[in-house]
């Protein structure tokens, strides 16, 4: 999809005004008290963010991944948690958009675009994270519906959302295991319950939940693509967008850390001059700024490949790996530059330090990204 520069500029300016007016004044209170920002979520729905990449024909904004990544970076500079609320939702939407039947697209995408149906991706289980083929949640067909039993954990939007893309086993004995996996659109109903909210080090505000399915019924018409056994492929394709989002978050947190450190280094004085004039601090600032720019370029490369319809698991993996590590490094350096104040809840730096590590775990660990990158390097460069 081609970027429309004037339209993109208007959207980004609107995002900046929204953040400055409605988020920045409250974020420290909401984050520390772990308050779900209902009013802000409602505003994001009105702005169309829940339909950001959904085509206009289905009521979405139809934005490119490149523009979407810029939006995610901007929001993450102010409060990373907000991006998770619509990112998980849009991965669910992308699964229907890319692999759903015509009927499924007509039925779900307009409701996803408005946020009437708000949700995410239900993959992880108590004994299964990176190895998705080890999931145990099962779905057994009985006529025109499936009966689901199992448990999912660490599910974003699990409490305040009302719909999930649910990965299950429809054939427990299939070999290889991925051929027995299917992805459903599962709306909340009888047998679909939240067992508990999960407390986290950072990434506050957004709800993370453990979900239990006990004889939960889902219509056969909600099987994405209408064919069993394709769930893992559908999920992995959606994670390309998710990893671009996480990488863009990394750029945002790395940039926020740099901004705070740069400002503080110019007002904090030691030995009669601002600490920004000490070489030890200058070296830190230079490295931080370089990480931000390099991470942003990797995100742009991955988003461009996604927009062109190319396979981009390597590009998205590289962006996610580098940008998340940049966020971790920059948040720590910002804390060091701030000294004791960086450890105080009165400053934003300690939040960046708590938020950044999630980026190295979510949407596939960074160890897994390295393996994906290496495998793609070999596959794309045979001798």
Q: Which member of 73, 210, 315, 363 is catalytic?
A: 363
Task: Report CA torsion sign: 154, 105, 146, 139.
Answer: negative
Closest to 245 (Cα-Cα) out of 71, 94, 115: 71
CA distance 177 to 169: 9
- What angle (nearest 5°) sits at the alpha carbon of residue 19, between those of residues 13 and 21? 100
Other Cβ atoms within 10 Å of 187 Cβ, number: 17
Please report where in the chains the tokens 């909401």 appear, as a residue. Answer: 30
**Gap between the Cα atoms of 117 and 106, Å rounded:** 14
Helices (H), 156-271: 231-267
Host H or E run for residue 187: strand 181-187
Rounded Cα distance between 368 and 316, Å, is 12
* Element holding 207 (H helix, E strand): none
Any idea what DSSP says for residue 162? S
Locus of tokens 């500079």:
77
Closest residue by Cα to residue 320 from 293, 306, 299: 299
Backbone angles phi, psi at 228, to 5 degrees: -70, 155
8 is catalytic: no
Catalogue the active-site residues.
Answer: 363
């Amino acid at each position: 999809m081609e970027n429309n520069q004037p339209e993109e500029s208007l959207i980004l300016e609107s995002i900046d005004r929204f953040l400055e007016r409605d988020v920045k004044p409250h974020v420290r209170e909401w984050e520390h008290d772990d308050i779900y920002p209902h009013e802000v979520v409602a505003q994001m729905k009105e702005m169309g963010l829940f339909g950001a990449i959904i085509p206009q024909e289905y009521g979405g904004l139809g934005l490119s991944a490149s523009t979407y990544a810029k939006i995610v970076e901007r929001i993450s500079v102010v409060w990373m948690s907000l991006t998770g609320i619509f990112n998980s939702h849009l991965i669910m939407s992308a699964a229907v958009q890319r692999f759903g039947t015509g009927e499924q697209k007509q039925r779900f995408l307009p409701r996803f675009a408005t946020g009437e149906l708000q949700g995410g991706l239900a993959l992880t289980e108590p004994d299964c994270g990176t190895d998705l083929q080890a999931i145990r949640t099962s779905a057994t067909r009985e006529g025109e519906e499936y009966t689901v039993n199992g448990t999912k954990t660490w599910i974003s939007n699990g409490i305040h959302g009302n719909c999930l893309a649910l990965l299950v086993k429809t054939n427990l004995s299939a070999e290889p295991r991925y051929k027995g996996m299917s992805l459903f659109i599962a709306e909340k109903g009888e047998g679909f319950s939240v067992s508990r909210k999960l407390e986290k080090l950072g990434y506050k505000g957004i709800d993370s939940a453990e979900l239990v399915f006990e004889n939960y019924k889902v219509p056969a018409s909600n099987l994405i693509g209408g064919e069993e056994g394709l769930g893992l492929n559908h999920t992995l394709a959606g994670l390309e967008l998710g990893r671009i989002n996480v990488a863009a978050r990394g750029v945002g947190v790395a940039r926020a850390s740099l901004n705070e450190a740069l400002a503080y280094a110019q007002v904090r004085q030691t030995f009669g001059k601002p600490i920004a004039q000490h070489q030890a601090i200058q070296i830190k600032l230079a490295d931080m700024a370089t990480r931000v720019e390099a991470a942003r370029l990797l995100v742009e490369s991955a988003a461009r490949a996604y927009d062109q319809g190319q396979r981009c698991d390597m590009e998205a993996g590289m962006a996610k790996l580098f940008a998340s590590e940049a966020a971790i490094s920059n948040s720590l350096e910002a804390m060091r530059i701030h000294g004791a104040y960086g450890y105080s809840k009165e400053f934003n730096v300690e939040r960046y330090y708590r938020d950044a590590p999630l980026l190295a775990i979510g949407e596939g660990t960074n160890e897994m990204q390295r393996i994906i990158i290496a495998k793609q390097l070999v596959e794309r460069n045979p001798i």
